Amino acid sequence: MNTFPETLDAAVEQAKGATQAAIADGYKLIQVELVVPEIALKSEALALEFAQLFAESGSGVKVMFPDTGASALAKRNWGEQPFQVTDMGSRFTSIETKITPEDQIFIVACPSAVEVERAEKLSQLAGDRPVIFLIPQLEDVAVVGIGLAARQLRDRFIKNIYSSYYLRPLEDGAILRCHPSPWQVWLERESGYELATELATKPMGEDLERLMIRLTNPEEASNNSQQPRKKTSLLGNLQKFLKALSQ
């Protein structure tokens, strides 16, 4: 059974192991999500850890950043490495030109909804080669939209990305998914985090709200299941969670 990560380093180690296991189990289109504020600032360091992990096995690793500036900065900071670093192309350079037959695995650092079309094209060009999206921000309604084209994009691409690892703090706990385990809800206790329940699918929206009420306050859930959950302490709990991860 999973243990709850007490530090950010522990979460990253879990994510690396879960992603290796997912690839070994045949998954090709994978995402790693750490849903905490400002995590995008750590995308370069996270990409380096994953690239080094897969480069150790001799795979033809290619790390891709959303733009040329980010890829150039990573090259400068990392120095010589046993893997390739590039960008996802632009209006003037197609992503096809960034891929070679020698590439065996693609690691994409923090792609946003602006790059969603290029991300989809990469997944098509990769074929049977694994594509790993690290802390992606692909589904931004303001960018992707809500019309027919957006729904089709979600159905054919975004919804088919497999979550090998997912960690998101909540008001009284957290959601954790670490392949091959199912989705889990952990509750915060005085002694740490305790596993409360496991689910076959990702808990979201009102279903998540009702679940957390039932787990944290069963009497409130039975007396007034329609009452919205108070969120006055959410910011404080997020700050406490981030402080714990940063230790």
Query: Which tens digits make up the pLDDT trace of 135-191?
Result: 998 865 444 556 667 777 777 888 899 999 999 999 889 999 999 999 999 999 888
CB atoms within 10 A of CB 73: 14
pTM of the predicted structure, to 2 decimals = 0.85
The better pLDDT of the pair 147, 88 is held by 88
Indicate if the pLDDT at residue 83 is higher than 60.
yes
Q: Which residues touch 64 (CB under 8 Å, ≥6 apart)?
A: 71, 85, 86, 87, 88, 98, 106, 107, 108, 109, 122
CB atoms within 10 A of CB 2: 15
Q: Are 169 and 5 in contact (CB under 8 A)?
A: no
CATH numbers and ranges of domains, the chain: 8-165 (3.40.50)
Indicate if the pLDDT at residue 14 is higher than 60.
yes
> What pLDDT, on the 0 to 100 scale, is given for residue 219?
62
Indicate if the pLDDT at residue 232 is higher than 70.
no
**DSSP 8-state class, residue 134:** E
> Across residues 226-241, what is the average pLDDT?
45
CA 99, 103, 109, 115 torsion-angle sign: positive
